[in-house]
Structure 1
Amino acid sequence: MRTIGTSGIEIFPLALGANTFGWTSDEAESQQVLDAFVAAGGNFIDTADMYSSWVPGNSGGESETVLGRWVRERRNRDSVVIATKVGAHPDFKGLARANVQAAAEASLQRLQTDYIDLYYAHYDDEDVPMVEIAAVFDGLVQAGKVRHIALSNMSPERIDEWIRIAQTEGMAVPVALQPHYNLVHRKDFEQNYVPLVQRHGLAVFPYSSLASGFLSGKYRTAQDADGAARGPMLESYLTPDGFAVVDALDKVATARGISSTTAALAWLLTRPTITAPLASARTVEQLPDLLAAVETELSAEERAVLEDASSPFS
């Protein structure tokens, strides 16, 4: 188990991303994935109020709704750690005080819970003074509706400002960061965020750990992504440098008798600032490769193979 920053909350070293719930996984499939994840020792589930508003016919909140019904039916709220986010739901955009307060209430209702373990500012809102943003999140903590605060898609400068204000004013201080980070997207996090994470002792939960499925190895040519649900998200990876990383993962995975998915997640777990990577499973059959990463310890030689191949992205 690992600890979320200074929160004292202990979690399994893999976070289950719930972005597929209500999108590529229907409710029955989603509940099966959740059951299997918990049965394997998992306890940390990551969603957002805007999931999956991009799907035709959806309005946002579908993932939280599925998760909330599962928690109610299983009566397991005290044994799972739930993270959700505010700022990008079609009806609750931005981080203005009234918006965050209303969005939090809507999330609590959909999740059928009295509290959110980890509440993210999903995207920055530079139209709102940081002191106001820090204050409204602190208010949710003081009211017992949120246990801890986390950040995503925010510049290092703005994160530093939030933490400075919170510390100076005696407000709740953010404990975690969710950055975009994987073998084909390294530079921004490693150069701009690692020093900040180390300075403030933040937990780190990388999103897009598998680069929208690209690092699973199922895309070997640009044509393989044609018609894929995540096709638009894959375009920037479909390059010679990207495919070189896929080849390196295949080499390491084949030698170890594991999948490329497992190898990609295991690499993230070797990174000193990473607390737990985020990964999604559309079906139960996809889950074992994710879980196997927790038990896979890559050698120095294997890490070197992957890092050499991914150096164009660092």
Structure 2
Amino acid sequence: MTLLGSSDLDVFPLALGGNVFGWTADRDSSFEILDAFTTGGGDFIDTADGYSAWVPGNSGGESETIVGEWLADRKPSDITIATKVSSHPQFKGLSAKNVRAAAEASLKRLGVDTIDLYYAHFDDAETPLEETVAAFGQLVTDGLVRHTAVSNYSAGRIRSWISLAQDAGTAVPVAVQPHYNLVHRNDVEESIVPVAEEFGLSLVPYYALASGFLTGKYRSTDASAVESARAGGAAKYATPHGLRIIDELESIAAAHGASITSVSLAWLRSQPTVAAPIASASRVEQVADLLAGAKLELSDEELRALDDVSAWSPAHA
């Protein structure tokens, strides 16, 4: 278990991504995945009000609805729920009015009284940051949200948010959700990690498996060669550099009797300020590797080998 920043949220060191619920995992499959995750010790679920509005026939909120129905049916104890605001078709942006309305809608879909961790999903340049910070703080004051967080924010905007919150004596973010994995490192390590270290924030990275590339399944640049809704996103990483990373992961995985997926997550989990990578599963059979990735400990030598092979340079761009 690991604490998120300065909060009292003590979570399993891997969050189950809810982006697939209502997309590549229907309600029944989602229930099976959630059951397997919690039976294996998982207690941290990440979703967003915009999941999965991009699917034909969906309108947004489908993932939260499924999670809420599962919570109502299973009644699990000690589950930490994280969700986000700004990308639902009906609740775009981060104005105070929108933040409040979106939070109330998320609470209703989830069937909970309080959201454990509430993210600003994407920065909103059209709304004064002071307004957004105050709105998030008011949610905490009113008991709708326990802790606040930011996702997809630049280092400068995170600093500004924290400064405004401190000056106002209101809730300060405890976590940051960036795009971070073995094939997407430099932006986070150069700018976000230093801010997290300075202010005691925890990183909860998304795309931990690079759209599935870091499972080792996609070794062709031809996305059509793999019948998957996510194959296109993974295929872009199948460069010579990317495939060398897969080869190193495969070697380390073999030494541990583990999967490439588990080793990828173990590496990310070991990085400074990272508390719990986010990974999703479209099939219940995939959950075991996610759980193993939260428990696998790599040696210093193995971590260095992965650091070296995944280091970014202009030659690898």
Q: How far apart in 2 are the matches of 1:123 and 1:295?
A: 30
* Aligned partners of 1:5 and 1:201 also within 8 Å: yes
Q: Which amino acid aligns with 2:38?
A: V
Deviates more, 1:225-234 or 1:248-257: 225-234
Which residue number corresponds to residue 101 of structure 1?
100
Contact 2:185 2:312 in 1 (8 A): no
Give, in whole Å, the separation in 2 of the partners of 1:149 and 1:162. Answer: 11
CA–CA separation in structure 1 for the residues paired with 2:201 and 2:27: 33
Q: Which runs of 5+ in 2 are unaligned?
A: none
- What are the Cα deviations for residues 248-283 of structure 1, in whole angstroms up to 9, with x where unaligned? 111111222111000100101221211011111112
Find the counterpart in structure 1 of residue 184 from structure 2. 185
CA offset at residue 247 of structure 1?
Answer: 1.3
CA distance in 2, matches of 1:58, 1:282: 17
Report the CA distance between 1:56 and its aligned residue.
1.0
The separation in 1 between residues aligned to 2:215 and 2:99, in whole angstroms, is 36
3-state SS of 1:312 partner = coil
- Identify the range of structure 1 (265-274 vs 208-217) with the bigger mean alpha-carbon deviation: 265-274
Structure 1 residue 231: deviation in Å?
3.0
Equivalent pairs, count: 313
Match of 2:37 in 1: 37
Tell me if 1:149 matches 2:148: yes
CA distance in 2, matches of 1:106, 1:36: 27
Aligned to 1:13: 13
Q: Per-residue deviation at 1:36?
A: 1.3
Which deviations, in whole Å up to 9, do the C-alpha atoms of 1:2-30 show, x marking residues without a partner? 00111111101111111111111111111
- Structure 1 residue 225 displacement after superposition: 5.3
Q: Which whole-Å CA distance do the structure 2 matches of 1:166 and 1:138 have between them? A: 8
Q: Which moved more, 1:304-313 or 1:11-20?
A: 304-313
Q: Is the CA contact (8 Å cut-off) linking 2:222 and 2:235 kept in structure 1?
A: no
Task: Spell out the pairing of 1:84-163 with structure 2 (5 A cutoff).
Answer: 84-163=83-162
Q: 1:1-314 maps to which residues of 2 (within 5 A)?
A: 1-76=1-76, 78-223=77-222, 226=225, 227-312=227-312
State the one-letter code of the partner of 2:72. R
Cα distance in structure 2, aligned partners of 1:300 and 1:91: 47
State the secondary structure of the residue aligned to 2:210.
Answer: coil
Secondary structure of 1:302's aligned partner = helix
Q: Which amino acid aligns with 1:2?
A: T
CA apart distance, 1:75: 2.0
Unaligned runs of 5+ in 1: none
Deviations 1:98-145, CA, capped at 9 Å, x for gaps: 111111111111101111000000000011111101000111111100
CA distance in 2, matches of 1:36, 1:254: 25
The answer to whether the 8 Å contact 1:241/1:312 transfers is no
1-structure distance, mates of 2:264, 2:235: 19
In 2, are the aligned partners of 1:219 and 1:225 still within 8 Å (CA)?
Answer: no
- Counterpart amino acid of 1:36? A
Q: Which moved more, 1:231-240 or 1:56-65?
A: 231-240
Shift in Å, 1:228: 2.4
Distance 1:228 1:71 in 2: 29
User: CA offset at residue 295 of structure 1?
Assistant: 2.3
Helix, strand or coil: the match of 1:183?
coil
* TM-score normalised by L of structure 1: 0.97
2:308 maps to a residue whose letter is D
1:230 CA displacement: 1.0
8 Å Cα contact 2:220/2:235 also seen in 1: no
Query: For the residues of structure 2 that align with 1:33 and 1:174, how far apart are their CA atoms?
Result: 29
1:224-254 per-residue CA deviation (whole Å, 9 max, x = no partner) reads: 5544201342343121111111111111112
Distance 1:235 1:296 in 2: 26
Q: Distance in 2 between matches of 1:104 and 1:294?
A: 30
Question: In 2, distance between residues paired with 1:246 and 1:91?
Answer: 40
Is the 8 Å Cα contact of residues 225 and 234 (structure 1) preserved in structure 2? no
What is the TM-score normalised by the length of structure 2? 0.96
Paired letter, 1:216: T
1:222 to partner: Cα distance = 1.2
Deviating more after overlay: 123-132 vs 237-246: 237-246
User: Which whole-Å CA distance do the structure 2 matches of 1:59 and 1:108 have between them?
Assistant: 17
- Tell me the CA shift for residue 73 of structure 1: 1.0
Q: Which residue identity is paired with 2:169?
A: G
SS of residue paired to 1:82: strand
